[in-house]
Amino acid sequence: MKRYIATFVLACFLFCTQVTAEELHKYNALIEHSRDAVVVVAAEVEEGRGGYGSGFLISADGYLITNYHVVHRSTIIRVWFYDEEDPKHYKADLVAFDPVADLALLKLNVREDMLPLTHLKIEGNLDRIQVGDEVIAIGHLLGLHWTVTRGHISHVDRRARHSVYVKTIQHTAPINRGNSGGPLINTEGHVIGVNTWVLIPKGQGQTVGVGYAVRGDVLYKSIKALMQDGERVRPSMGIMFSHLSEFSIKRLTKENPGVFFPNTFGIVASGVEEDSWAYKQGIRSHDVVVAVDGNPVNGLSDLVDYVMHLPVGQAVSLLVIREGVFTKVDYELKKLEFDLAYYDERLEQEENTEDTPEPEPEDE
């Protein structure tokens, strides 16, 4: 009996070892395939000054994706592929960009027969991006070209660092400067995100396993719009909102004596000037929005998640509390405008500060 048991255990061991070897071979092949589509992106802002990041090929005719902040204000963009026998670079053109999602679409300025055959597929189905899934980041962190790191998805619904409109994936694959614009892929080799920033707490001086990537479904919609229309159009209400909570109400009441804030749910409008879009649509400063088209608004994310899927020009019905009275406001959505001067200022601030956790943005 012992001999039979030993034989069975040995057979199981050999079978498991064989499966592991096959999986390892598949894993290595996946990385080889993906790496061939990943590039170094070097952007020259002015002579002798610029930066670099990562990017990846998404089509056989030379379209590339990277972060917009990698190529912002660039005059010359150069791209290198993984090819030890041919280290020369290629020039790329900035075709279109979506600074809200920190994405840029590039086109290689070369003949198609000179391009590698490998390109990556974007996974635009959110149902196939799950917490706990294994992920692989490929990029050029800290100048170490074509570096591969592994991790898992920690969260799939984080707000982007500076935009309430964009969702990101939080993951544990180590990323650093230089990974920006590089792909976050799953075990099928599909791009489920674009690495865009990493959390480094003040005083820590190093990453703590908290990286963020623009989520695959956001990426898919943005790139599709950029390729078809040359821009990504989003709706906006053009209002500065603040969250309501036990603590914020104390602050707001102190700052605005005589104004009644009735509850700790909803969002409060502020800074509404008479010549603003919001004022013309019927919103006043200190209005508390508690519902949109009959859907409750407990926080800013409830409103944004609802309106971000609507077309520009569509009207929504807002239920607001104004001076203790419920009021209905029919509000037309405008086009979201992006201020590149603000982008310049933001990048300059980030170059001089460490990454720190931030509260959810309040500008809608």
- Classify each residue of 41-62 as buried b or exposed e, where b means 16 or more C-beta atoms within 10 Å of its C-beta: bbbbeeeeebbbbbbbbbeeeb
Among the listed residues 36, 102, 217, 287, the single catalytic one is: 102
Of the residues 36, 54, 69, 72, which is catalytic? 69
Active site residue 317: no
Active site residue 248: no
For residue 46, the SS3 value is strand
| Selected catalytic residue, list 34, 180, 236, 285 | 180
In the chain, how long is the greatest CA-to-CA distance?
Answer: 90
Quote the tokens at residue 86.
């041919």
The count of C-alpha atoms lying within 13 angstroms of the C-alpha of 132, restricted to the half-sphere facing its C-beta, is: 0
Cα gap 130→149, rounded to integer Å: 19
Angstrom CA distances, 55 to 178, 355, 361, stand at 10, 22, 27
Which residues, 6+ apart, have CB-to-CB distance to 92 below 8 Å?
41, 64, 77, 78, 79, 106, 107, 108, 109
Examine the residue annotation and report whether 309 is marked as an active-site residue of this protein.
no
Q: Which residues contact 247 (CB under 8 A, 6 or more apart)?
A: none
- Residue 241 tokens, joined: 């909102």
Residues with catalytic annotation? 69, 102, 180
